[in-house]
Amino acid sequence: MAHHFRSFLAAIALCLPMLAAQAAVDPALLRPLAGDDPDARIEAVARIAALASDDARKVLQALQDETLYATADGRVLVADDAGTLPDGAEGIVVNNRLRAAVAGALSGMALLSPDVAQRRAAAQALQGQAADPAQLPLLRKALLAEKEADIRATLQTLVAVADLQSEDAALRKAAVLGLADSGNPALRAPLQAMLERRPDGSHAEPDASLRAAAEATLRAIDSRVARAEFAGKLFYGISLGSVLLLAALGLAITFGLMGIINMAHGELLMIGAYTTYVCQTLFRQYLPGALDWYLLAALPAAFLVAFGVGVLLERTVIRWLYGRPLETLLATWGISLILMQLVRTVFGAQNVEVANPSWMAGGVTVLGSLVLSYNRIVIIAFAALVVAAVWLILNKTRLGLFVRAVMQNRRMADCVGVPTSRIDMMTFGLGSGIAGLGGVALSQLGNVGPDLGQAYIVDSFMVVVLGGVGQLAGTVIGAIGLGEVNKFLEPVAGAVLAKIGILVFIIIFIQRRPQGLFALKGRSVE
């Protein structure tokens, strides 16, 4: 019995600088705390919490910290650092049940904190728990004082859920109707409980009109939840699509425009991801204050590194193989093996850790229950930016003009003075650099390891082939479409089967339309 021992120590060692302070809470409320009746003690906690005053918070905090003492005549004292305890004061023993009640009450009281973040956290913490009617007065008080719209909405839901269990039919009805606007799936259980029958056959909710209202509210919530789920799939589909797009966009240039089967494309993604890792390490070492912004440095770095590797590959290997696509395929596969092993030798075979910057952590909640994480939103926006940039480069710059000219009619472009060989080099470099940018994005979503590229190579080719070779718009639609189909199939078939289903679909699709979704018009025997 540690408490007795401690109070014993406090009693005999009065030299300890402890001053007992009478809590400024009505002693009648406090008295049951010192008693033996567990139910009375829990009720006392609830009533103290309902005071919602600063003193009440102090008492509860003391109870939680086990610095609340009771004297033999029933006075309850808070021990603080500056005082002594009267003789015979014993520590109040807190059992698990009481401790839970105190913790709940304290988190409820945080609703009244002046700090917005604390209030929001408290409201969200309460949301996860079962509604407790004892907290109702506190919730109402907090609701009156609250100015922030999102916290108000949370509190309103909490009050309504607590009201559902009220004795007053009018209150219950108001609560049922008030909940109709909510999309929180957690509300289903209390509403469902109203519709159930007790074992004796009577309804849990005696009022028939209220039952009908509850049913309507339940339906409204269900449809909201379904909508939120649908929106969630849509969002995750777009998110997956944008990842596929970033992975495939470089390939849309090297394979789509130039016709080079670059099996090392995945490794260019990997190089981008590892460049991000190196940037992060350098920032951590030399600029720890700006660590959050390492991605901004990683973007140009990844582009340049991948661009450099791409140009090197084009000059040393690929340019000797133009017009021999199958040989290109084999040679670039060899390159991919070498790049993978190189990374393994330099960075080790294990995955390296790339952390999201803090501004990408967290997410925004929409439609009640749908959390859109910031890193996915950022990557969707980033993919859109990269597509726009590629479009601009290809259609609005001199380099883009040359690229298109060489791809459409190499000999004629050569005749009018376009340096075709240099353009080949620059185009391949551009495609590789964009793969590097894709690698930065991938590093923010998944593991970064030497095998990173392998996971994306088949997908990337699928996207480009599906969209139609040489078509930027086709690649975009192909990627987003694949992402959406994948996310909508997943809950039905499971992740692996969904993926297999999509591969089979693409294989069949290519058989029907070998030229892809968007074919260039033209005549050709082949």
Q: Least distance from C-beta 266 to other proteins, angstroms?
A: 11
> Backbone dihedral region of 54: left (phi > 0), alpha (psi from -120 to 50 degrees) or beta?
alpha
Order of strands, sheet of 68-70, starting from the edge strand that comes earlier in the sequence? 19-22, 76-80, 68-70, 90-91
Residue 20 near residue 83, CB atoms below 8 Å: yes
Residue 423 near residue 406, CB atoms below 8 Å: yes
Q: Which is nearer to other proteins, 337 or 364 (CB)?
A: 337
Q: Least distance from C-beta 341 to other proteins, angstroms?
A: 4
Q: Which is nearer to other proteins, 146 or 459 (CB)?
A: 459
Q: Least distance from C-beta 254 to other proteins, angstroms?
A: 13
Q: Least distance from C-beta 35 to other proteins, angstroms?
A: 54
Residue 92, helix vs strand vs coil: coil
Compute the distance between CA of residue 115 and CA of residue 206 in angstroms, rounded to an integer: 42
Q: Which is nearer to other proteins, 183 or 453 (CB)?
A: 453
Q: Least distance from C-beta 447 to other proteins, angstroms?
A: 18
Q: Which is nearer to other proteins, 204 or 349 (CB)?
A: 349
Please spell the DSSP secondary structure of 100-145, one letter per residue: HHHHHHHHHHGGG-S-HHHHHHHHHHHHTSPP-GGGHHHHHHHHHH
Residue 180 near residue 216, CB atoms below 8 Å: yes
Residue 37 DSSP symbol? -
Q: Which is nearer to other proteins, 435 or 462 (CB)?
A: 462
Say how many CA atoms lie within 13 Å of 459 toward its Cβ: 25
Q: Which is nearer to other proteins, 77 or 463 (CB)?
A: 463
Q: Least distance from C-beta 316 to other proteins, angstroms?
A: 9
Residue 275 near residue 439, CB atoms below 8 Å: yes
Q: Least distance from C-beta 486 to other proteins, angstroms?
A: 13
Q: Which is nearer to other proteins, 221 or 318 (CB)?
A: 318
Q: Which is nearer to other proteins, 296 or 330 (CB)?
A: 330
Q: Least distance from C-beta 470 to other proteins, angstroms?
A: 14
Which residue reads 């009201």 in tokens? 163
Residue of 254, 253, 247, 252 lying closest to 270 (CA atoms): 247
Both ends of the chain: CA-CA distance in Å? Answer: 90
Residue 25 Cα to chain centre, angstroms: 44
Residues in contact with other proteins by CB under 8 A are: 261, 263, 317, 320-321, 323-331, 333-338, 340-342, 344-345, 454, 457-458, 461-462, 465, 496-497, 499-500, 503-504, 506-508, 510-512, 514, 525-526
Count of positions (residues) in the chain: 526
